[in-house]
Amino acid sequence: MKRGLFFLSVVASSCAPSLAGRLDSHGQILGPDAKVNITPLAATTSGQRVGSIIISVKPDGTFATEEQLPVGDCLVEALVPGFAVASTHVNLDGSSKKIDLDLRPLPRTSLRASQVQRTIEDGRGAGGANLAPPSL
């Protein structure tokens, strides 16, 4: 009986979906804070809701799950500082999936104090809020 249960658990774990992929940063270096967030979009077949799984991205832009993922639709998001969020929907059907996400760099902005042209009125804040203390 024990041997049959072991075989069943090995077969069940080999059917669990996995996800791997690559983030294409067009030659820009990905920092150590690059993450991929995998969120199941529906309850699992057992009726349980599964939370998000967060995976670290390797310096070469590749990632892979170590956890068993639930079968069904999920949202995959690349969260990388300096880049816009890249996302896609994936249907995990029990097999391994491989995806690529294209990263777009955020525009670089800089603002110098000399570029800010604003008149400041006494007792007024931004938006015209009255900053003067109440008179008693």
- Average model confidence (pLDDT) for the chain? 79
What is the torsional sign of CA 18, 99, 77, 36?
positive
Please give the share of the chain, as a percent, with pLDDT higher than 70. 68
Predicted confidence (pLDDT) per residue in 93-116, tens digit: 888 899 999 999 998 876 665 555
3-state secondary structure of 18: strand
Predicted confidence (pLDDT) per residue in 8-29, tens digit: 333 344 567 889 999 998 888 8
Sorting pLDDT into bands at 50, 70 and 90, what band is 6?
A: very low
pTM above 0.85, yes or no: no
Q: Where along the chain do its domains lie?
A: 19-107
Q: Under CATH, what is the fold of the domain 19-107?
A: Immunoglobulin-like (2.60.40)
Q: What is the DSSP string of 91-104?
A: EE-SSEEEEEEE--
